[in-house]
Copies of this chain bind each other. A is one copy, B any other.
Amino acid sequence: MLSETVTLDGHIVDSLTLSKVLDLILLHGGAYEIVRVRIGATRADTSSAEIDVKADDAAQLERILHVIGQHGATRPTEAVRSAPAPARGVFPDGFYATTNLDTFVRFGGSWIPVEPIEMDCGILLTGDPADPANLSAAAVPMHRIRKGDRVVVGDAGVRVVPLAPRDPTSLFSFMGSDVSTERPKEIVIAAVARRMREVKAAGQKVLLVGGPAIVHTGAARSLESLIRAGWIDVLFAGNALATHDIERALFGTSLGVEVDTGAPAAHGHEHHLRAINAIRMAGGIRQAVEQALLTTGIMHALIERNVPFVLAGSIRDDGPLPDVITDSVQAQDRMRDHIPGIGIALLVATTLHSVATGNLLPASVTTLCVDSDADTVIKLMDRGSHQAFGLVTDCEFFMKELAARLEEAP
């Protein structure tokens, strides 16, 4: 039987990290002996443990060390290893696949941060290996790799920092992974408003990712007012949100339903096509604003306030609007450009764009998923980032309450 000793540091008891690591060793057929453990005497103190991991053979030991490495169990320090990419858009064999947790690589005796970090990427090393001070490491998606790029392989010399435990006295912590609808939601929304104020005060950005139900339900008014008041720094959406917002601006309807009365309009189901056609004729959304064709709504507010947005295409789109990026890889890259500096991400009433954004966000970003369907929220959290909170409610109610809370004096 082979063994190797790993160390675990940080809030490993109250973040449940120690328990998880011990469970994973057993789950993958290994055994363990705790060599030494020191538990912080107060909440402020961190803890540490030294664990002897045992396995039947080298392959199993390697597997276990890899798995627990992703929860912060660090092996005796050796330098990170890399290999050249064999072709454009292809990682070398044995590439290290990233998580969205803070990650470091060991080089020249120091730990170099992987910046930016993003899940399901490789780690690209750049700079002169002979000069560690100038070496940098970044998570890079597969399609961006060029032949010959140096990409990290194996686990040695890679360290991830477990997600800090949630502050048990914070309002968010009550939500946990709970997606129950039977909670007072006003309180949760008030906490979101407070977090948005903190994010803005810290000079970070607020990201809103939204689906067309925001327009269909009449919540567009609230979102528009949030944008005009400067609360939203970047918006990710699809053709549908922008189209129905413009439909509402031009015809007063959303998917053919009059937003102010709930009545189906005559010719209503065609309004979204006529809206798209009009913007195509104008040349784009900004042009439509400049030509005074578009004078109200979410998209108008974004243009007027110079808030950047990414409209990503999908195969269910009609038209689409000229501003829609129809290539999904390009659209992802444009979304990536806006990720740095985001402090809170609100994912509202869209499964597709929420999962896509969750894939790009570092675990350190406060992330809230809002949907009226518990199943959707569960799916998001299953796939997405474990840092996400779920709120099962109407986007109409959420946006209206949020706007009301942010209009109040802080």
A-side residues, CB < 8 A to B, are: 13-16, 18-19, 22-24, 26-28, 31-34, 37, 39-43, 49, 63-64, 66-67, 86-87, 89-91, 95, 97, 120, 141-143, 168-169, 171, 174, 177-188, 191, 212-213, 216-218, 255, 257, 259-264, 266-267, 269-270, 273-274, 276-277, 280-281, 312-320, 326-332, 335, 351-353, 355-356, 359, 372-376, 378-379, 382, 392-394, 396-397
Contact = CB atoms under 8 A, between A and B. Distances in A.
A174 B373 contact: no
Contacts of A181: 213, 217, 372-373, 375, 394
Copy number in the complex reads 4
A14 B43 CA distance: 20
Contacts of A266: 28, 63-64, 66-67
Contact of A326 (B19, B32, B320, B327): B327
Chain A at the B interface: SS class: mixed
Contacts of A397: 185, 393-394, 396-397
A171 B373 CA distance: 25
A280 B142 contact: yes
Contacts of A184: 216-218, 257, 259, 262, 396
Contact of A37 (B37, B42, B169, B359): B37
Given A174-B264, A181-B213, A267-B67, A169 B27 contact: yes
A11 to B, nearest CB: 10
Nearest to A331: B315
Contacts of A274: 97
A177 B276 CA distance: 30
A248 to B, nearest CB: 11
